[in-house]
Amino acid sequence: MSTTTVTRAPAPTPAAPAGRTPAAEGRIGLRANLRHIGALVRRNALQIKQDPESMFDAVLMPIIFILLFVYVFGGAISGKGNNDAYVNYVAPGLMAMMGLNIAMAVGVGINDDIKKGVMDRFRTMPIARSSVLLAKIVVEVGRMMIATAILLGTGFLLGLDIKTSVLHLFAAIGLSVVFGASLMWIFILLGLTMKTAQAVQGMAMLVLMPLQFGSSIFAPPDSMPGWLKTFTDYNPLSNLADAARNLVNGGPVAESVWMTLGWAVAITVVTAPLAVAKFRKKT
């Protein structure tokens, strides 16, 4: 008696719906991407709410800086007893400095999240890698706006006078925010590249110090040595400080505004793709 073995044929693989490919199924649409950014922004905002001390730099640093520079350098630069004039000079420039210092916190935060394993959790979620970085930038832009508001509020108490209009002041703030957001991509790239948060801070200070003090933020560059004045003339922070200062006090703004916007676009175009690629590789 013979036994017949029946081999059951494998079930056919269901055909993919027309117009959809595996690559298309993995692609995240704009609406979903915006929704993910919003959810991550809320997550980062809740972190700040649970840790109010993380806002100390945005709240206290503007007050300390404007008081320090007005009362230490104001008399030497504008003449004794003429601090009001120096407030109008330094306060618009300090808006550029706020953007730099707030931007540094982004890189430190990214590096810290990687060390804590937060990015490993994001890797398991069906979200765009860029949404994680964009959410960080949105939250830090909010912190930058708070720092700028406190800076200007303190400046008004010290005698800051808007000699143009409120719209010009808003334009100066907007220009500072745009440039500060572009700088965040540099520090995100540093946060993804350096091994520790301390290394990110150390490298950031090496970048910050020459840019801040080798600029027209604190003093006119006319009295600087020739080599330093040349560096100051090409320093993007000088362009931003001059643009914000002339928007507040009156003066030609076209060249410095366009130079600042050009720097912001160039920095973003170069560093944002590098940061996103590094983030995808790291996660």
- Positions of the chain with pLDDT under 70: 1-29, 75, 77-83, 120, 123-124, 126, 283
* H-run or E-run covering 104: helix 83-116
- pTM above 0.85? no
Over the stretch 204-219, which tens digit does the pLDDT of each residue have?
888 888 888 888 888 8
Q: Please, what sign has the CA dihedral across residues 136, 141, 142, 146? A: positive
What's the distance, CA 274 to chain centroid? 16
| Those residues with Cβ within 8 angstroms of residue 182's Cβ, 6 or more apart along the chain or in another chain | 263, 264, 265, 267, 268, 271
Task: Kindly compute the dihedral angle of the four CA atoms of residues 228, 229, 230, 236, in this order, to the nearest 10 degrees.
Answer: 100
**CA torsion angle for 207, 192, 105, 73 (degrees, to 10)?**
0
Which alpha helices (DSSP H) does 28-81 contain, by range?
30-50, 56-78
Q: Which two tokens stand for residue 88?
A: 């109008």
pLDDT tens digit sequence for 96-127: 888 888 888 888 888 887 777 777 677 667 67
- Please give the single-letter amino acid code of residue 243: A
